Chain A
Amino acid sequence: MRVRWWMWLVVMALVLPVLPVRAGPAGTTFTIGVDQEVVGLDPNLVTAFSSFRRIDFLYNKLVRYNDRLLIEGDLAESWEFPDPRTAVFRLRRGVKFHSGAEMTSDDVKFTLERVLDPATRSPGRSFVDVITSIETPDRYTVRLKMQFPLASLLSGLASANLSIVEKAAVQRSGNLQRTVAGTGPFMLAEWVPDNFMRLVKNPNYFRQGLPKFDTLILRVIPDQASLLAGVRTRALDMATINQGAVITQARRESGIVVMQKAGLNLRIFAFNTTRPPYTDARVRYAFSFAIDRNVIVNTAEFGYAAVSGPVPASTPWATPAGRFTSYTQNVARARQMLSEAGYPNGFATRIVTSPTYEGGIAVAQVIQEQLRAIGVNATLETIEWGTYINRWVARDFDTMIELRGGDPDPDRFLYRTFHSTGAVNNFLFKDGGIDRLLERGRVNLETDARRPIYDELQRALIEAAPALFLYTPMETQVLQGYVRGFKIIGNGALYFLEEASVER
Chain B
Amino acid sequence: MQRYLATRLLALIPVLLGILTVVFVLIRLIPGDAVQLFLGTQVELTPEQMVELRRFFGVDKPMHAQYVDYLSRIVRGDLGVSLRTSRLVLDDILQRLPLSFQLATLALVVAMLIAVPLGIASAVTRNSALDVLARIGGLLGLSMPSFWLGAMLILVFSRYLHISIGQYVPLTQNPLGTLQSLYLPSLALGAAIAAILMRYVRSSLLEVLGQDYIRTARGKGLRAAAVMLRHALPNAMIPVITVLGFQMGYLLGGTVVIEEIFALPGMGRLVLQAIFQRDYPVVQGVVLVIALLFVVTNLVVDLLYAWIDPRIRYA
Contacts and interface: CB of A to CB of B under 8 A. Distances in A.
A19 B166 CA distance: 11
A34 to B, nearest CB: 10
A222 B41 contact: no
A296 B92 CA distance: 42
Interface in B8-32: 30-32
Given A40-B85, A121-B53, A177-B86, A229 B165 contact: yes
A21 B183 CA distance: 13
Nearest to A38: B85
B263 A386 contact: no
Contacts of A16: 179-180, 183
B7 interface: no
B280 to A, nearest CB: 12
Contact of A195 (B39, B168, B184): B168
B90 to A, nearest CB: 14
A389 interface: yes
Contacts of A177: 85-86
**B37, B158, B163, B168 — most chain A CB neighbours (10 Å):** B158
Interface stretch (A53-61, A78-86, A231-239): A231-239
Interface stretch (B43-51, B69-77, B233-241, B284-292): B43-51
A379 interface: no
**A47, A196, A226 — most chain B CB neighbours (10 Å):** A226
Contacts of A193: 85, 87, 92, 95, 265
A226 B165 contact: yes
A289 to B, nearest CB: 28
Contacts, number: 132
Contact of B163 (A40, A194, A233): A233
A278 interface: no
B113 interface: yes
A159 to B, nearest CB: 11
B154 A225 contact: yes
A230 interface: yes
A431 B177 CA distance: 61
A18 B163 contact: yes
Interface string A103-123: 000000000000000100101
Interface residues of A, number: 48
A384 B276 CA distance: 8
A385 interface: yes
B270 interface: yes
A19 B175 CA distance: 12
Interface string A210-247: 00000000011111011001101111000000000000
Contacts of A140: none
B176 interface: yes
A228 B262 CA distance: 12
A121 B276 contact: no
Contact of B39 (A19, A47, A192, A233): A47
A358 B286 CA distance: 28
Nearest to A220: B263
A281 interface: no
B154 A229 contact: yes
A19 B179 CA distance: 11
A194 B31 contact: no
A318 interface: no
A405 B276 CA distance: 22
Given A194-B270, A386-B276, A47 B164 contact: no
Contacts of A221: 263
Contact of A194 (B165, B169, B265): B265
A179 to B, nearest CB: 13
Which range contains the number of B residues in contact with the other chain? 35 or more
Contact of A232 (B92, B158, B184, B278): B158
A387 B278 CA distance: 10
B250 interface: no
Given A21-B174, A219-B263, A389 B165 contact: no
B40 A22 contact: no
Interface string A359-402: 00000000000000000000000001111011011000000001
A377 B41 CA distance: 28
B261 A19 contact: no
A188 interface: no
Contacts of A386: 30-33, 37, 276-278
B180 A17 contact: yes
A126 B166 CA distance: 43
A324 to B, nearest CB: 26
B276 A222 contact: no
Contacts of A423: 44
Contact of B262 (A126, A226, A389): A226
B127 interface: no
Contacts of B37: 386, 389
Interface string A123-155: 100100000000000000000000000000000
Contacts of A385: 276
B85 A222 contact: no
Interface string A16-30: 111101100000000
B43 A123 contact: yes
B183 A226 contact: no
A194 B85 contact: no
Nearest to A402: B41
B174 A22 contact: yes
Given A9-B113, A123-B43, 7 more contacts: A17-B184, A47-B43, A48-B40, A195-B265, A235-B165, A386-B33, A389-B33
Interface of A: 9, 16-19, 21-22, 39-40, 47-48, 118, 121, 123, 126, 177, 192-196, 219-223, 225-226, 229-230, 232-235, 384-387, 389-390, 392-393, 402, 405, 416, 423-424, 426
28 contacts: A16-B180, A21-B169, A22-B174, A22-B177, A40-B85, A47-B42, A118-B46, A121-B43, A121-B49, A123-B43, A177-B85, A192-B265, A193-B85, A194-B96, A194-B269, A194-B270, A196-B167, A219-B263, A223-B261, A225-B151, A229-B155, A230-B165, A389-B33, A389-B37, A390-B33, A416-B44, A424-B42, A424-B44
